[in-house]
Structure 1
Amino acid sequence: MTPAPPSVTPDWAFEREHWRRGHFRVAGVDEAGRGAWAGPVTVAAVILPGTAAEYPFRDSKQLTAAQRETYAAEVRRVALAWAVEHAWPDEIDRLNILGATHAAALRALARLEPAPQALVTDYLKLRVDLPLSAPPRADALSYSVAAASLLAKTERDRLMRELDERHPGYGFAAHKGYGAPAHREALHALGVSEAHRRSFAPIRALLNAAEPLPGLGAGARKEAGPQRSGR
């Protein structure tokens, strides 16, 4: 299936394939923060009622922050079951980002009650003993995955605001740990905090002082401070 355009409206096509096979509790799974340099990767799993109702849920990237919060509250209200789990930088550095994302997804799925009978994920090919659909851009195509994307995004954003208070100066509340220019500049001014993912190439490069961060000139290396906790 080709990727959906940004304005696409989700439907129940993937869920219906599982419903036809008698798997009525279909969990949507999505993550937030996979490409960030700091903070957790957050995974949500959501089972919506299998009534083929229409919802306002959309891929979280299509919505404003206020809309995401409103719709996330609605997800929690209508869902048969939902769970959110995180993989923090130490787990990411130990397992790599894909392994940590899978581990957080499995933890979230294990918390669902009632348990799911099938899954739809946003191209996350989990090793599970359940029927699995993993199309690309499922967060834009599937109501269940869109609902999961809303919970993952809003919960991770909340945690990044907390990290911004614990590690002031990095701007986590604004850029959410991604590689924005302001984040790069803060890293060179303040050093690497315990909230950063040391296995990620830009952070590893700064720790090794072997090369400047992408997007900064060679002279920026001279300004890089020593590693510090950021507390």
Structure 2
Amino acid sequence: MKEKLLHISEPEDSFLNECKQDKRKGVQKLVENWWKRYEHERALKETFNEMMQYEKSLWENGIHYIAGIDEVGRGPLAGPVVAAAVILPVDFYLPGLTDSKKLSHQKREEFYSIIKEEAISCSVGIVSAKEIDAWNIYEATKKAMIKAINGLEKSPEHLLIDAMKIDVPIKQTSIIKGDQKSISIAASSVIAKVTRDNYMKDLGSKYPNYFFEKHMGYGTKEHLVALEKYGYIEEHRQSFAPVKSVTKARTK
């Protein structure tokens, strides 16, 4: 019964109705679990459809290539800021996709692979700590976004951007909390987040004293203690206040 119920998707199914009439506690528990799963999946579908409204409106107006743009890494004391641009196909469906920060590590990795495989085009733009110091984080973020757009194999006709506007000759819509309101932006947030996390994990292997693989460059207590003890390295943003107050590390 449990196996058969796993393959039922509609509440009007005859076998499900038979199970409802079965008075055994074990069967009633199976039916209860089926309804919980059904309601959960329906909620995910509704949320997904809500997050497709911007894309659907543009598709209906003849815009085929819509790029979602998002970034990660504006706040850390170390590492780059990373932006991603993702163009999704009309039939893309990935229930549960949302702001990468709200996803578990496992879900991010899973969704990253699906997005990379199914996207029409996907690109990242990376701007280093040194460049952030030279330009400031806001300008560096815009440059990372432009790099990501320029790296797309298909030229986007419209951009959906999370809470920013950038100087490119492409029509664009800036959406506050866009990674929770647009599937394209949510997809780009996952690509950017996983890309940057992998970068910081590699950095953690190169500089084990700083534990970058744990805090991803953010100003945690552990990171601040390491800064005071070992000084900053080239991957630290020297224009950020906590880094300014320490001396440069001696690295081989």
The answer, yes or no, to whether TM exceeds 0.5 is yes
Greater helix share, structure number: 2
Conserved 8 A contact 1:55-1:143: no
Kindly indicate whether the alpha-carbon contact (under 8 Å) linking 1:56 and 1:71 is maintained by their aligned counterparts in 2. Answer: no
Residues 20-39 of structure 1: pairs in structure 2 closer than 5 A: 20-39=60-79
- TM norm structure 2: 0.77
**Compared CA separation, residues 230 and 55, structure 1 to 2 (3 A):** farther
> Mapping of 1:144-223 within 5 angstroms?
144-204=184-244, 206-207=245-246
Paired AA for residue 226 in structure 2: A
Give the SS at the match of 2:144. Answer: helix
SS in 1 for 2:210: coil
Distance 2:96 2:149 in 1: 24
Farther-moved stretch of structure 1 (175-184 vs 15-24): 15-24
For 2:193, the aligned partner's letter is: K
In the TM superposition, residue 14 of structure 1 has moved relative to its aligned partner by 1.6
Does the CA contact (< 8 Å) of 1:167 and 1:230 recur in 2?
A: no
Per the normalisation by structure 1, the TM-score is 0.84
Cα–Cα, structure 1 residues 203 and 56, in superposed 2: closer, same or farther, change >3 Å? same
Identity fraction in percent: 36
Q: Are positions 1:73 and 2:94 aligned together?
A: no
1:92 is matched with 132
Q: Distance in 2 between matches of 1:9 and 1:91?
A: 38
Match of 1:214 in 2: none
Shift of 1:62: 1.0
Which consecutive segments of 4 or more residues in structure 1 shift more than 3 A? 7-10, 51-56
Segments of structure 2 that go 5 or more residues without pairing to the other structure are 1-43
What letter corresponds to residue 169 of structure 2 in structure 1? D
Q: Superposition pairs for residues 34-45 of structure 1, below 5 Å?
A: 34-45=74-85
Any conservation in 2 of the 1:26–1:116 contact (CA below 8 Å)? yes
Corresponding residue for residue 223 of structure 1: none
Counterpart code for 2:153: E
Paired residue for 1:62, among 87, 97, 102? Answer: 102
For residues 170 and 148 of structure 1, the distance between their equivalents in structure 2, rounded to whole angstroms, comes to 28
Distance 1:116 1:9 in 2: 25
- 1:124 Cα offset (Å): 1.9
Structure 1 residues 93 and 78, CA gap change in structure 2 (3 angstroms): same
- Pick the structure with greater CA Rg: 2
One-letter amino acid of the counterpart of residue 248, structure 2: Q
Q: Which consecutive unaligned segments of at least 5 residues does structure 1 have?
A: 1-6, 208-225
Aligned to 2:142: 102
Post-superposition shift, 1:114?
Answer: 1.2
* CA displacement at 1:52 relative to structure 2: 6.2
Counterpart of 1:213 in structure 2 is none
How far residue 227 of structure 1 moved from its aligned partner, in angstroms, is: 1.4
CA distance in 1, matches of 2:60, 2:110: 32
Contact 1:9 1:140 in 2 (8 A): no
Write the letter of the residue equivalent to 1:228: A
Residue 129 (str. 1) matches residue 150 (str. 2): no
> Aligned to 1:143, which of 175, 183, 195?
183
Q: Say yes or no: does 1:9 pair with 2:24.
A: no
Q: Which amino acid aligns with 1:127?
A: D
Shift of the 54–189 alpha-carbon distance from structure 1 to 2, 3 Å rule, reads closer
Other structure's SS at 1:92 match: helix
What SS does the aligned partner of 2:234 have? coil
Q: Secondary structure at the match of 1:116?
A: coil
Secondary structure of 1:100's partner?
helix
Match of 2:249 in 1: 228
